[in-house]
Amino acid sequence: MHPAALWKWPDYYWNLCKHFGIECYKTWRWELAASVLVGFFVALIGGQWKDFRTALLATGLTLGCFAAWHLIRVPFVLHKSVHNQGENEAPAPGNLAGIFGLIVVAGVFTGGYELALSLWNAKPIGEIRSVFPSISPVKIPEAVSPPPIQQEGVPAIPPEQITPPKRFIDKTPQQLMALFQGRTMLQGDRLMQPFKRTWIRTEGHITMVGASDKGTTFVVLSSSGTTVECRFQAKWTMPLARYDNGDTIKISGWIFESQNGQQLYLRDCELR
């Protein structure tokens, strides 16, 4: 009787892990080189040489694809080694190969989970609600109070000028302005829509500090080559007066409704 006929299911999968580890070890140098090359081309096409996060993500995805290919192929390799056993075939892989295979499998599943979690968190809440609509019980409408009477001579505040709640997003001005690259202003504005009226943190070198006719102070700064215009309320005028052109400044502000792709416009900015 062939030894493989006595295998239980744990023996079978343990031998699969051994052969998977051997296959990964044989080709890891070429696969790593190919993954780094993919990361290089991603940076070259996107023009974001300092965006190491995207380059590492591209490298990890490429390595994950190679590992998935080995997982698909390894049952064939195992069956072939079993049938060719005794015909001058290479010795069976050892336990270290199985441990290495388990580590690679764990890395693939961990990377897939982190990628799915990042994609889920990056999805706008409005789209999530449209995919999973919630069914709420019918409520009896309450009496609606009349809108407040606007005082004569006091202009109403446009909705887009009202400060939104502080919900920060993990985006840089470079990533937001990249949405307009190679696209029309209308196309870029549609891609920008989910990020409008959200808050971001950034920093850069001051190129201009001035005052507007509405009593606010504006600061123009350069953040890694991207121009950002920040509008501050009057209470920040004195703290901003201490800064000179070329100084580094750290700010937070919310993304204004009107964007043209030439520079990023922030409102109600604050010093950090």
Domain assignment of residue 247, yes or no: yes
User: How many domains are there within the chain?
Assistant: 2
| Interval 185-223: pLDDT, tens | 899 889 999 999 999 999 999 999 988 777 788 999 998
Report if residue 62 sits inside a domain. Answer: yes
Q: Which domain holds residue 16?
A: 3-122
Of 104, 122, 140, the position where a domain reaches its end is 122
pTM of the model: 0.42
Strands 248-255 and 226-232: unpaired
Within-domain flag for 185: yes
Give the per-residue pLDDT at 163.
83
**In a domain? residue 140:** no
Domain CATH number, residue 254: 2.40.50.140
Q: How far apart are CA 186 and CA 189, in angstroms?
A: 5
Is residue 146 in some structural domain? no
Of residues 132 and 236, more confidence is placed in 236
Asked if residue 138 is part of any domain, the answer here is: no
The pLDDT tens digits for 54-74 are: 666 767 777 778 777 777 777
At which of 94, 122, 150 does a domain end? 122
Q: Rounded to the nearest 10 degrees, how much is the dihedral formed by the CA atoms of 104, 110, 116, 122?
A: -120
Q: Is the pLDDT of residue 145 over 50?
A: yes
46 inside domain: yes
31 Cβ neighbours under 8 A, 6+ residues apart: 62, 63, 66
CA distance 20 to 8: 18
If asked whether residues 118 and 214 sit together in one domain, one would say no
Q: Note whether residue 150 is domain-resident.
A: no
Residue 170 and residue 180: Cα distance in Å, rounded? 18
pLDDT in tens, 86-121: 555 566 677 787 787 778 878 777 877 777 776 666
What's the pLDDT score for residue 130? 47
Q: In the listed set 122, 141, 175, which residue is the last one of a domain according to the structure?
A: 122
